[in-house]
Structure 1
Amino acid sequence: MAEKGSGNMENNSSDDAVSGRIEQVLCQPCSSNDKQTVADVFCSTCDEFQCTECSNVHTTHAFLRNHKLVKAKEVKTKQIAFDMKGLDQCDEHHKVLEFFCEDDNQLCCSTCAIVDHRKCHSVVEIQTMAERSASTSSKLKIKLQEVREKAEKIVKDAKSSKEQLDQDVKEVSLKVRRMRDDVMKMFDDLEVSVTKDAESFKTETLDKLTKKQSDNEKHIADATKSLETVDNVHQNGTPSQQFILELRMKRQVDELSSNVDKECQRLESVVVSFDFDETLKLPPLSISDCVPGQLTLKYSVPETVKPLIPLDPIVRLTMITSIDLKQTGDDVEKPLYSGLDFLPDGRLIAVDNQNKKCLIYNEKLEKVGSYQLSYIPLSVVVISEEEVAITSGRIDFLRVSKSNEITLIRTCKVTTVYESICMKDEGNFVVGTYDDTRPVRIVSLSGEEKDFSINFPNKKYPIDTSACTYIRNSDKVVLTDRYEHTVYIYDIKSNTRVVVKDDQINEPYGVAVGPSDCILVCSKGTNSIVQISQTGRILSSYKLDMKLPYSVCVSKNKSLLAVSSNMNGETKLQLLQVTY
């Protein structure tokens, strides 16, 4: 007996074809009843080959009339069930995926379609979608092939780089040895040349000195002999003999004296030495302290590879909504939002510097909460899901509930007034000062204040002239200098800084960390948000629909950006979509 659903077929391949024999497909419902009937149609919904009689059920029952029937001879073979290894199962309900919601771009099982997508406008059968998107699998295959080819290229490049690295390290040692051998040969040649000249000088000088020695040894002998004669005559001779001696030897002694005096006048000092030039003299240090060369260690990315993996993706901003900040209700002044930050759930926290308020906005920039402060707030930072901190001459910690109620938790006294604030880690803030020679400091959540080990310039920033932020992943501090039209990027680990100046940066103030840890700065003079890489490269500039952008913040998932202005008469708060 044939198994139901197997699509029994009598089929001849081209290799064993028999004259007069044709391909036949049997009706599956009939086969289940031990009947051998040739199938006339194939129902793709029932997934069965059927004879004319069995297929009439599609016209008898209304709920089967939308099934698609085709002639059996047009279907060469029925597809064999393929094990998708769970890919065709719903992750939540563990049922077969049968539908596709075009509104949410999501695959659904029957339960998903009823429970989660009943209000959606377009939920269709997967089979229908599959017929519409016949080319999807080919695109997916092409994409996967591209991914594999790129990965294979990376592996090949990595292997090549490893081999080249090993060769380069060996070459460094060989190069030092070759230089040492060249230097040693140079010194060997120098020794031969200098010694040759010195020996030639020595030979010439020795001849002179030998003759001078010989001549004066004779003078010594003559003087000694004459002294003996004088002594003998003075001791034994008569006065007449002594007088004769004086006269007879006077000329001889005068000549001897003259010769010796001349030799004395020609006395020479002979010196042979060799000194290196100052450029070749090395101080008495170890070779590690005075290396006559430079070892270069660096990574480089070929220009042809850079576009494949952009290290600094360009941020694109799209306006979502904008509101004018107007003086209403109990406001004593036109609002000025000097600090902004997002809660993890997407709500926006703002502090109104002019009206001493902390406010909450929803995703549509509708005001949903407000809290009156007793002091002028300068900035705000979100600490956790329901806690924020506000700076002034102190730091206040407030609770922001899910129902948009704000309550004061505690106040932390500090010694410095902090204009800007952001999180450094779970237990510390990074804060920007004003009128203090330490422009950026660290404050713990308990109020302990300390300084960075950075050589900041000895400069005080007045109010509204500087703001800071912190890049946690690379341990860098970013500081804006409004009237120097400059952004400074300080590397804490190396105590170095990058100075960023550009025509696109004019009166920079508010600053935040964006996607891929890029830097987003409010450029008040150009009414724009400027994107800067951590290396100081200007990546993009987005013209805002507001004048004098002042404060800026980015949501926790880096998908939203909020910015406010401080233009008298045209103060705005805007929400923008971040893509890259």
Structure 2
Amino acid sequence: MSSIAAEVIDPDVADTFLTCSVCEEPFKNPVGLPCLHSFCKECLTKHILSTTKAQKNPKAFTCPKCKRHVDSPDPHQPPHSWADLFPPNHFVLSLMEGVKIRSDSQKCDPCSRRNEKVIAIRWCKECGEALCQQCEGFHRSMKYSQHHHLVSMEELKTQPIKNTVSRPPCPDHEGTLLGFFCEDHNQVVCSSCVTIDHRKCKHVTTTAEAAEKQYVDAESLSEKLKLQRDWSRRIAENRRHSARVLEDSTNQIRHQITSIRQQINDLLVQKEVKILEELKTVHADEKEQYDKVIETCDGLVSTTENAIALIQNSMRHGSDTDVILAIDNVKNESQSCESKLADLTTRLKDLFINFSADSTLQAVVNGLDNLGRLTTTQANVNLTAPYNVEPMTYRSDHTHRDHIHHEHTHREHDHHDRTHRDHIHHEHTHREHDHHDRTHRDHSHHETRHTHTHRDDKRREIEIESVRSLPLSPISTGRKSPVAMPPAATQRKALTPPYELTSSPVVTPRKLRKRSPSPLPPLMLPKSISPFPYNRIIPRQATLETFFKGRTSNDRENCCFTGAEIIQDGRIILCDQTHRKVKVFNHNYQWCGEKVLSAKPYDVCCIGGSDIAVTLPTEKKIQLYTVRDSDFICIANIQTGAKCWGIAYAQKKFAVCCFSAPPSVKIMSRDGRELKTIARDMAGNDYFNFPDYVAMDKNTRNIFVTDRYRKSISCITALGEKRWEIRYDNLKVPRGIAVYGSKVFVAGCRSHTVVQLNIDGDILGDIISEGISYPTKIVVHPNGENILVTQHQATLIDVEKNMVKIFSLNNQ
């Protein structure tokens, strides 16, 4: 009660609370909306009329302040009367009056009603009126008011505002005030309500007694609302930051594209003409096909209209014989039209023209054969007949007129219409030297496509594939990555509720400061970090050695591999969230067996020999299994007390990422005892927002954690002290993490890279920058020669979602 009371004892009320946000003037006849915002009745009426004038039968409007949907209090009433139906905000009116009477020029209320302006000197609490000296004498002489408590205006200014705030009037009984509270109905009532409507209620108290009980709840509710306000601000700031990053990256890519054009301008002129001619040819050929379909459909429209006219005229003016002949002929023609329409509908395909720059542009040397390549994408249009058509009407043996070639490209991102959920994806590659020997292959797959483009309705776009910046370019990116925005659905970052969180500005290296994430607790940078690491040995690029398909014939859908491990005998274990399975593959990457679990597994680690530990987040436990030749035997269960995600094991200890309050990394023994919880520093600042994956060195001195929300990498000692925390601009959304000796490898899900660090947090560079898309989990082989990478993202093509890739570290 004390803190709440202290806030209202201060008579200075914020102007914004007593000001209409529409007219920015003090409230006049304020009315309240369900979202708790108040506006002048006249302002609200104008807003309602302006927002509903385009609606045919308006039934709702949006709040002018928070844009929340507000239903009409009575849809049968015209919009200009809706504001009258919302309840007046008596509290704001009383508060305005309380502030007003504390001014030096408060006028006498009785005199004001006589149009006389006299300064008041007294205040009657019972009547709620200011009185001048003359009216004070009259007030004291009246029988009904002679015992009223009068205070001077000077004394009144020192009292809390609530001492002068009057109770709201009862909406049901004129002349009575709301002074009682019915706990049975959770309703504030007047004395008449108590005696009439609530006479049988057992728990009716005065509002003063009821309010006394509410103060504790009010304090906790206020704190919760403040946290929700901060949470909203964090989300908004995060989006503003993302918008700035998007703008920066867009400008950078735009500059990169134009600089490439400027640097090799002379050569581009020649090749540009060539490829534009090819583009013109592709467009003309496809346009011709579209025109043929349009011409056919126009003919069918004419035929059907003529048939309709024939039936109508024969029935209206013809003989019985004419009717029979006309209907018989029209039936035959209708069947023919239906067959043609069904066949056309089946063969409808949209052509997408994509453009990717030729990789030889990177070198800018003689021998550049082509500016790039044109690829076309065909997708079945999900257009259904307007009525039920017999299945036999559709032709199932129609031939494709185009040469179909499925292009298996690991770094390709296609832009499709958002509504094409299930379609056949065909890539038609037009190259000068392969015009006469194109391969005919069909590859069907289901893929959800998302497009970030301003011209979705055209379903046609030119997409430029990024090339490594030229040596003389001032904006070298250092890796091949798509310049065009990848087709990814808008990712809503599930920022964790901040009830246990604190925020402070981010500290990043000078070169990264411009693109640091939104406000988060400060980063602890490694002592040796330098914005210009010229003296570091850049690791050599790992090479793709092989890949294998993790999806088996038993799987009904595409897989989602969030966890992987290589056990001591070389076998590979995969955690498949989609099918709730753990799978085992031999050293030749052949599927050996699997086990369906009780919940979706997230991560897995080897705990010695053929034993593994699997995290089950929804069940808040770790399950231990022995991996046999073709199946798994459960040997133990360990309860974690919180949703558990990434897991690591060393020296007979588990390190488990837990999304608890606060988020933490728990150190547990193999028999399930909780040895230590790492969550906060000595000052009470949280180490994590959402610890995702974890790795430990062999002696468990260092624990490395990636954070899903902070998008950072942390190093914590076994004693729970943070050594460093970094974010790296070329490592976007760090996910999987692995340690081998003094080397730390981190997967950048959104940068499509795997980056190498040392245990001191120094970033050595990319070891994988090509051949992977959205890397999720990484595992280093026990011999240190290979690294395994899983991939997952909703927009990945099917073959990539199910693909597990093995890279050779080239004696890093």
TM-score by length of 1: 0.43
TM-score by length of 2: 0.31
Q: Computing the radius of gyration over CA atoms, which structure comes out larger, 1 or 2?
A: 1
